[in-house]
Structure 1
Amino acid sequence: MGRQRGGRAARTSDGGPVAGVYPIDTGTCELAVDNLNPHGWVLKVNGVESSHIDLSDPTYLDFEYMRWIAELVASHWSTDRRVRALHLGGGACSLARHLAARYPDARQVVVELDGKLAELVREWFDLPRAPLLRLRVGEARAVTETLTESSRDLIVRDVFAGNTTPASLTTTEFTGHVRRVLAPGGIYVVNCGDTRDLVLARREAATIGSVFPHTTVIADPAMLKGRRYGNIVIAGSDVPIGDDPALVRTLLGGGVPAHVWDDGQVRAFAGAARVLRDAESGS
């Protein structure tokens, strides 16, 4: 593996990607072979593991939290639904690629801040083309605020600067923009990375619960008990979500068994946590 210089992404003679460190607009990204999967690739952005892609199977998701989101979506919509999805945060477009395979009629937009990264990912991973999957370069909040009311069925927020979600994407005001853009019956899903104290997760749950009448949380029990750092999936909707018994069974049987909390449990978890506001984030 070596450091690649500007220009187009390096490719092998058969058209496959080449492991290496590549310059991007926000720093560097590293593409590495997954030693446990001959078809797998791991993408790191500025030293932080961002995405995993299996070139032989677009439905395969290596990251557990992405599997949880995918199963929540599957419990809500049948595969013949033309889901209109907005992904805030691109990485390698793993989840968008999965949904494109599972929902052939879906129309998806992935918003990625780093234009060069978006270009490399498009070249490396043979993503579906527009109108099935469009990559839009821009800042997630700014793009969301320009979108038409009720124009999306699914909005997924998976944006990180290092290991932290920008504060402007966690606030009540931003979540209000999300709800405006969601169509009736739509789902807003966030990947919340938090430490063992769960302060951020509680505040995110309180914030999403202040905007949406129905919420759910998906995470592994150790994370919910504050025993480790990790990911908590929090979702909001104007209709009940996460209440399908089949979803509960599927997530309990996963590689990392996960619990699904209903709206009452989510609100009890949030407790007296203060909602997040633009004034606090400096937005």
Structure 2
Amino acid sequence: MGEVRVEVEGGVAAVLLDGFPQSAVDLDDPTVLHFEYVQQLALVVDALAPAGTLRVTHVGGGGLTLPRWVHATRPGSPQIVLEPDVALTEQVRRDVPLPRGHRMRVRPVGGEEGVAALADGSADVVVLDAFVDGRVPAGLTTVEWMADVRRVLAPAGLLLANVTDEPGMRYAARVAAGAQEVFGHTAFVGLHEVLKGRRFGNVVLVASPGPLDLYTLRRAAASAVLPTGVLPWADVARRVPGARPLRSGDGTAVPSPEPPDPGGWRVR
């Protein structure tokens, strides 16, 4: 889809797509995660997902950083990766080979059609980490798509979504409003300065049909290396009152805001 480049420096392989850093893979230890929001995704899985193997579906592949982490920390976990950019996947496989014994299956489809083809209750965790030109595609943040994700998830499953936004978090609040409508239990995890709406950045949306263990999640966030917090839906609604869900049916679905210069900001 775009120009793919892999750069290796200091034992880390960085995958770039059209100038945007898409992934960072530690070649010596896949449990070492270099992007803050990927650390937060892993933090949520460790805090809230049950022990043992997990059925994980990743919407967006990049360098397969998180699938490698799942394989290393929960061996034997079956994983599906929905990544429509075949050239990107081929170059990653060639330049950053997957570990032996993995159970990752990469399907060359986008998130909407890929999730639609999955069986009911077939995933314990669905991770949304997809970008086009540095923006989250409009179709992957709608109420309709999230309802399909809920169908695919186990009764106590988790949707984890990497969402980017400008100061004020108005877009992220609308995504959370849709998740709250569909799942009933949502929260954000992110750096304090991003959660407070002070700068452009990533936040991880956590949604589940069952109650979220916010106490455990907050304890995990407090132990993070970088200043990380948890923002439940009730606090999001107070900060951004009147946030309305994004829907494909009424034309309100839009991609995430334009990112700053890719040289100064990373998406995966």
> SS at 1:204's partner residue?
helix
Partner of 2:90: 119
Residue 77 of structure 1: how far off its partner (Å): 2.9
The whole-number CA distance in structure 2 between the counterparts of 1:175 and 1:192 is 14
Deviations along 1:117-175, one digit per CA (max 9) or x if unpaired, are: 11111222221468711111111111111111111110000111112111011110011
Instruction: Select between 267-276 and 166-175 the one with higher mean Cα deviation.
Output: 267-276
The structure, 1 or 2, with the larger RCO (C-alpha pairs under 8 Å, 6+ apart) is 2
The whole-number CA distance in structure 1 between the counterparts of 2:180 and 2:240 is 9
Partner of 2:259: none
Residue 248 of structure 1: how far off its partner (Å): 2.2
Unpaired runs of at least 5, structure 2: 255-268
Instruction: Select between 45-54 and 263-272 the one with higher mean Cα deviation.
Output: 263-272
1:272 to 235, 242, 249: 242
Q: After TM superposition, list the pairs within 5 Å mapping 1:215-226 onto structure 2.
A: 215-226=186-197
The answer on 1:172 being equivalent to 2:156 is: no
The answer on 1:46 being equivalent to 2:21 is: no
The whole-number CA distance in structure 1 between the counterparts of 2:100 and 2:79 is 10
The whole-number CA distance in structure 2 between the counterparts of 1:230 and 1:242 is 25
| Kept in 1: contact 2:142–2:245 (CA 8 A) | yes
1:250 to 220, 244, 249: 220
The whole-number CA distance in structure 1 between the counterparts of 2:17 and 2:185 is 34
1:109 is aligned with what amino acid? I
The whole-number CA distance in structure 2 between the counterparts of 1:153 and 1:270 is 30
The whole-number CA distance in structure 2 between the counterparts of 1:226 and 1:105 is 39
2:103 to 126, 129, 132: 132
| Kept in 1: contact 2:57–2:79 (CA 8 A) | yes
| Kept in 2: contact 1:212–1:236 (CA 8 A) | yes
Partner of 2:56: 85
2:159 is aligned with what amino acid? Y
| Kept in 1: contact 2:16–2:23 (CA 8 A) | yes
1:167 is aligned with what amino acid? A
The answer on 1:66 being equivalent to 2:38 is: yes
Aligned-CA RMSD value: 1.8
- Answer with 1 or 2: which has the greater Rg: 1
Partner of 1:259: 229
> SS at 2:214's partner residue?
coil
Q: CA distance change for structure 1 residues 177 and 130 in 2, over 3 Å: closer, same or farther?
A: farther
Identity across aligned pairs (percent)? 34
The whole-number CA distance in structure 2 between the counterparts of 1:79 and 1:118 is 29
The whole-number CA distance in structure 1 between the counterparts of 2:100 and 2:245 is 39
Unpaired runs of at least 5, structure 1: 1-25
| Kept in 2: contact 1:194–1:229 (CA 8 A) | yes
The whole-number CA distance in structure 1 between the counterparts of 2:84 and 2:101 is 19
Partner of 1:187: 158
Instruction: Select between 42-51 and 261-270 the one with higher mean Cα deviation.
Output: 261-270
Partner of 1:31: 6
Partner of 2:184: 213
Partner of 1:4: none
Q: CA distance change for structure 1 residues 55 and 118 in 2, over 3 Å: closer, same or farther?
A: same
The answer on 1:161 being equivalent to 2:136 is: no
Q: TM-score, normalised by structure 2?
A: 0.88
